Structure 1
Amino acid sequence: MTPYQKGLLITGFGGLVLTIDIPLIRLGGGDAWSAQFTRSGLGLVIALLCWVFIRLRQGKSVSLLPGRAGMVVAAFYGLSAIAFVAAVFNTTTANLVFILTSTTIFSALLGWVLLRERPKTATLITMAIMVFAVFLIVSESIQSGNYFGDLCAVAASFGLSMAIVFARMSGKDMGFAPMIGGILPLILATGVLLSKGGVSAFHLDAAWWTIANGAIVIPIAFWCLATGPKYLSGPEVAMFYLLETVLAPIWVWIIFSETPTRNTLIGGTILIIALIGHSLWQLRSERKRRSAERDELAANIS
């Protein structure tokens, strides 16, 4: 198996595993803060266990978070997790996953402002199309006054974008940052549950689903997706994140019979087509660039 094939297998598996994150949260039921406590707490525990295991195996110190930059990135991951779980309990799955695709928009805009990386014309056009599609999806919620969940989804997307951009700015390894960032939602959820009565306020309809999500699904999915860039280009890895956008609403439709609205289906279709088209364009540009570099290297050698 070539490194490229290995990368496709690992990253594809991670993207596929991530698609059951939302269905498992929904199956666990209960209230949002109990789900937040369980999901974030278990993710944090698994990250710490992995950190200890790596230290023992390698026989040297391994940094959980690289300095202040690591704490900032972890904080944004934590804020994103808080908004994400709130969105799961307050909007439809289709709305949530389609709105989360706006991470691409926020990342490009933040990269432009903070990193001076001006998006190419094709990216700007794609962003404009995506803004229209996201507005189409949330328009019904705005008209009905039930827009809190959609706003949480937008906040989750923005927090994730901030984490990605600050991680790029630092240039350091942030592999543990998403799980360590779980400290923030864990503390907040603990405070809310204690204010409501402590243990008696904790409620999950089917706790094992949420436990499986926090202890198994999330660590595996994020590890695989974080490993992908070792073997694949950025655009190739990004395409596997689209699996959640496409498959999560299908799983929820099969399990809960939750049918997306007409505007959600139209907006979601526009988003998927725009993202796939842009990703394919990026792949083509990347291959052309690599080909040109190889030709230049061959010419210099000869």
Structure 2
Amino acid sequence: MGHHWKQNAMSVSAPSLQRAPVSGFQLVCLSAVLFSTAGVFTKGVNADAWSIIFWRGLAAAGIALVLLLLRREFSREIRQFRLPAILATLLMASGTAAFVPAFKLTTIANVALIYAAAPFIAALFGWLFLREKPTSTIMLGSVSALIGVTLIFGGISTQGDLWGNLLAGWMTLVMAGITIIYRRWPDTPTTLPGAASALLLCPIVAGLGTPAEVPISELAILAGFGVCFAFAFILLSAGAKHLPPAETALLSALETPLAPIWGILFFHEIPNMQTILGGALIMVAVFGTYGHQWRKKRKQARIA
């Protein structure tokens, strides 16, 4: 869920990379672990998807706003909250409204692996809307990811799987769109649109679900869901300051293979053969592409 953060990760000079690679490595890896738990939180409660979105959104928005105030960045993000930020807010709200129900309808593996194709969809959008021609590595990765997603869709066995996969697909398109917004308008704030999207959804999902009927025990879990993701973003942004963008993207991609593992361990969700094959193609595309970028950046750093 942190792809637009990956696209905006801060690059550093070679000396800076030598000073703090371990701390950056650890922070980004920990953020990937936290991001990978979305399915566990969603499937670990009996509350409906709309109630989950409501309480998770309140917790995450509250933490985000407190952090903005503590960092004294609230007024700056308000000033920068123009049309691109509004578009990002609407897309984030739309994506969240699809992402959480997707976990309720299909397996964690299906959602995580389909979502892993977001960087390649972003590359396609960049080509179409920003005239940024993708490299041959990105093009090969995109083809591999597309075949993988097609295989996952071909392996659906229930109507729930179909709708869950479609919702995960929409979330993937949304995150690719958000990436393009931040690529085109890099001064667009990131924290405030996230908080605003959560608050925007609250009155809508309150009417669709039953958040007032969620038991106290599950409220604690959902609050933890919001806190977990808020800290995942914090750790990712902090770690990205000490690593090149390609390395940040490569490490944060660890969330994708971790998510299905949690599904197997906690809910005994054994992926079918088509999901395994499709997921393998997607992961080859993801790690192959990011690995190539990482090696390229390392080579450039040594030359510099």
Report deviation, 1:175: 2.9
Report deviation, 1:248: 1.4
Report deviation, 1:291: 4.4
State the distance in 1 between where 2:182 and 2:216 align: 34
Partner of 2:287: 276
Partner of 2:53: 36
In 2, are the aligned partners of 1:37 and 1:190 still within 8 Å (CA)?
A: yes
Q: 1:126 to 1:265 in 2, by over 3 A?
A: same
Residues 161-200 of structure 1: pairs in structure 2 closer than 5 A: 161-176=176-191, 177-193=193-209, 199-200=212-213
* Structure 2 unaligned blocks of 5 or more: 1-17
Q: 2:44 aligns with which of 27, 46, 54?
A: 27
State the distance in 2 between where 1:100 and 1:170 align: 23
Partner of 1:252: 263
Q: Which of 98-107 and 7-16 deviates more?
A: 7-16
Aligned partner of residue 117 in structure 1, secondary structure: coil
Partner of 2:235: 224
Report deviation, 1:44: 0.9
Partner of 1:13: 30
Report deviation, 1:48: 1.3
Deviations 1:80-105 (A, max 9, x none): 11110111111110000000011012
In 2, are the aligned partners of 1:38 and 1:210 still within 8 Å (CA)?
A: yes
Q: 1:136 to 1:248 in 2, by over 3 A?
A: same
Report deviation, 1:203: 6.6
In 1, are the aligned partners of 2:117 and 2:282 still within 8 Å (CA)?
A: no
State the distance in 2 between where 1:50 and 1:155 align: 30
Report deviation, 1:121: 1.1
State the distance in 1 between where 2:158 and 2:118 align: 25
Deviations 1:200-232 (A, max 9, x none): 5x5787332212111x20100011122333222
The one-letter code matched in structure 1 to 2:202 is L
Give percent identity, aligned residues only: 24
State the distance in 1 between where 2:216 and 2:171 align: 23
Report deviation, 1:282: 1.0
In 2, are the aligned partners of 1:34 and 1:203 still within 8 Å (CA)?
A: no
Normalising by structure 2, what TM-score?
Answer: 0.86
State the distance in 2 between where 1:83 and 1:36 align: 10
Partner of 1:208: 220
The one-letter code matched in structure 2 to 1:207 is L
Report deviation, 1:275: 1.4
In 1, are the aligned partners of 2:28 and 2:252 still within 8 Å (CA)?
A: no
1:61 and 2:75 correspond: yes
State the distance in 2 between where 1:137 and 1:91 align: 11
Deviations 1:163-188 (A, max 9, x none): 11101111115330323321232232
State the distance in 2 between where 1:227 and 1:160 align: 21
Aligned pair count reads 284
Moved over 3 A (4+): 143-146, 202-205, 288-292
The one-letter code matched in structure 2 to 1:206 is E
The one-letter code matched in structure 1 to 2:204 is L
Deviations 1:216-263 (A, max 9, x none): 201000111223332222221112232221111111211111111111
Deviations 1:48-97 (A, max 9, x none): 11122222xx8x93324532221211221121111101111111100000
Deviations 1:113-140 (A, max 9, x none): 2221110112111100110011001112
State the distance in 2 between where 1:204 and 1:120 align: 51
State the distance in 1 between where 2:81 and 2:299 align: 35
Q: Which of 85-94 and 9-18 deviates more?
A: 9-18
In 2, are the aligned partners of 1:54 and 1:62 still within 8 Å (CA)?
A: no
Partner of 2:299: 288
- For the aligned residue pairs, the C-alpha RMSD in angstroms reads 2.2
